[in-house]
Structure 1
């Protein structure tokens, strides 16, 4: 790096493979958490809550849980639960409320968990990187031991917590193939992180872009929102995220030369999503495709980042998409001479 910017963020993005491996090992030590909480059939619905990046990963966690475990789950901002709970949850059901917070200190998640304390039909638990946090003291939490960060922006914390909860969903599913997929992700991540660093640096420096659009579907929708937030936090560029096919229904009017359209490509909807990407290319967008595998069908794109692991589920593979999205935010910040370690107006823990 040519300047002193990013001295916290860069090593944290780069260390996420170790954070995933530690989370995988820790989950084995907390196996009983799964059977008592998200694997417990006594709950009618699992509600994952968080704020900002934690809410976006909660969306991916809920989507994964529904797909893999086959039982109801939803994701809401923490504030919706303590201020508008009746709009998020109907009476008479047995809910498990799962707080998601890197610090375990966010006011909104604490208020949400406190708001259901003693309320019939509600049980609480959580996931965090800080075992001594307020949330971990008030609700039993999964702990990502190497997810702790000094930078304001969430990177390895988000990757490791998302992975850890997905691995917990695999345990809850009882499906050996999903447990094996978690192991494959851990094995693949270090090479993906290294390749993502080189790719993102070259891509950012090789293109002049003034607005950024991230598209994803299924469990990738939450990841597209997170990618959008990452580059907004780090570099202050204008960016938006949409469901991939939804982007065609009005929002595509903003596409013009200088617009990046980044598609987080699933295998489930590959052909449909690539049609959207090709359409945006025709409108003048610079198209980046993040995918399990390159092919003739992706050759039109201006950039294709290949993660591998095409033989595993879209949900499990999603964590492998995060490094390149994080590095794109990082290198865009450096290109704009902005320090990604200390975003303006932001603090690591949001309190009200």
Structure 2
């Protein structure tokens, strides 16, 4: 079994460990604060999902941004950097900018969520929430982002069946034969839009395969043109029968589920690994990728 597969399988237990963390709440923004979540790659998708969850929970104004794209403008009470390694160059640079800009001068509290203690990010923030129990040996992220999302949902008072549903997903065979498809599409709405982006990224990273992600209802506005019999379209959360019918009319296979969206992401992670292995690839060592992007 690959390291990635082992880490995917560990998620329900890791989420249970995360639920015991008492001091996490402030890292996801106190009620009424205006908050910005920053990240790169997977962490940026997590930031997008958290921003939606927080606003929907009535916790306060919340934005998300790619660390590589963010420039100071709005004033925030708190800026949260999400970085598994604590060393990602663009995240560190964004924090430096925040500390020297109006965003910092206005009194924004700079904090980080990481999987490793004692890294460069610690010197740039007031405090780091270290989730070392959710760290990964694999280059491909799986349990760290889902653990951060689990903790965010707890912080915002949101209940879910994620752990139970994920355990069920891990016990059962995949619902499809991945070798039947060459094109993988993930659709989400609201907070699951970030999950769709993350699922598609897993396919590209682990299996070097053609994958896309889109807002659920926007799929008909152009992207559906490339769907066909070798396309698997995976929907996070609820979806109307009319959209399913429109996609199936292309010959594509549509996968829907009543599972918690985080459990659906676990299933998508498994699909990425199985697809990689069916192509003779090692999901632990994705092509051209390293654990952290560190720029000269």
TM (norm. structure 2) is: 0.91
Structure 2 portions without partners, runs of 5+: none
Match for 2:3 among 3, 8, 24? 8
CA contact (8 A) 1:199 1:324 kept: no
| CA separation of 1:284 and 1:71: change in aligned 2, threshold 3 A | same
Separation (CA, whole Å) in 1 of partners of 2:226 and 2:232: 11
| CA separation of 1:66 and 1:141: change in aligned 2, threshold 3 A | same
Shift in Å at residue 165 of structure 1? 2.2
Residue 279 of structure 1 aligns with which residue?
246
Separation (CA, whole Å) in 1 of partners of 2:280 and 2:293: 26
Shift in Å at residue 39 of structure 1? 0.7
Shift in Å at residue 98 of structure 1? 0.7
| CA separation of 1:69 and 1:130: change in aligned 2, threshold 3 A | farther
Match for 1:38 among 14, 20, 29? 29
CA contact (8 A) 2:86 2:115 kept: yes
Shift in Å at residue 204 of structure 1? 2.7
1:199-250 per-residue CA deviation (whole Å, 9 max, x = no partner) reads 32x6235x51111111110001000000000011000011110001101011
| CA separation of 1:69 and 1:127: change in aligned 2, threshold 3 A | farther
| CA separation of 1:258 and 1:278: change in aligned 2, threshold 3 A | same
Residue 3 of structure 1 aligns with which residue?
none
Separation (CA, whole Å) in 1 of partners of 2:249 and 2:169: 31
Structure 1 portions without partners, runs of 5+: 1-5, 171-177, 293-306, 308-316
Shift in Å at residue 320 of structure 1? 2.1
CA contact (8 A) 1:48 1:97 kept: yes
Match for 1:143 among 130, 143, 152? 130
Answer 1 or 2: which has greater helix percent. Answer: 1
How do residues 47-86 of structure 1 correspond to structure 2 at under 5 angstroms?
A: 47-81=36-70, 85-86=71-72
Residue 139 of structure 2 aligns with which residue?
152
Separation (CA, whole Å) in 1 of partners of 2:15 and 2:123: 23
How do residues 185-224 of structure 1 correspond to structure 2 at under 5 angstroms?
A: 185-186=162-163, 188=164, 191-195=167-171, 198-200=172-174, 203-205=176-178, 207-224=179-196
1:129-161 per-residue CA deviation (whole Å, 9 max, x = no partner) reads 113222234321223232111100001111111
Residue 173 of structure 1 aligns with which residue?
none
The 3-state SS of whatever aligns with 1:39 is coil
CA contact (8 A) 2:170 2:267 kept: no
Separation (CA, whole Å) in 2 of partners of 1:130 and 1:275: 46
Separation (CA, whole Å) in 1 of partners of 2:130 and 2:162: 19
Residue 86 of structure 2 aligns with which residue?
104
TM-align CA RMSD:
1.9
CA contact (8 A) 2:28 2:155 kept: no
Residue 149 of structure 2 aligns with which residue?
162
The 3-state SS of whatever aligns with 1:61 is helix
CA contact (8 A) 2:140 2:284 kept: yes
Residue 105 of structure 2 aligns with which residue?
120
Q: Does 1:24 align with 2:10?
A: no
Shift in Å at residue 17 of structure 1? 1.1
The 3-state SS of whatever aligns with 1:25 is coil
Shift in Å at residue 99 of structure 1? 0.3
Residue 271 of structure 2 aligns with which residue?
328
1:263-321 per-residue CA deviation (whole Å, 9 max, x = no partner) reads 1123xxx33xx3212211111001111x22xxxxxxxxxxxxxx2xxxxxxxxx33222
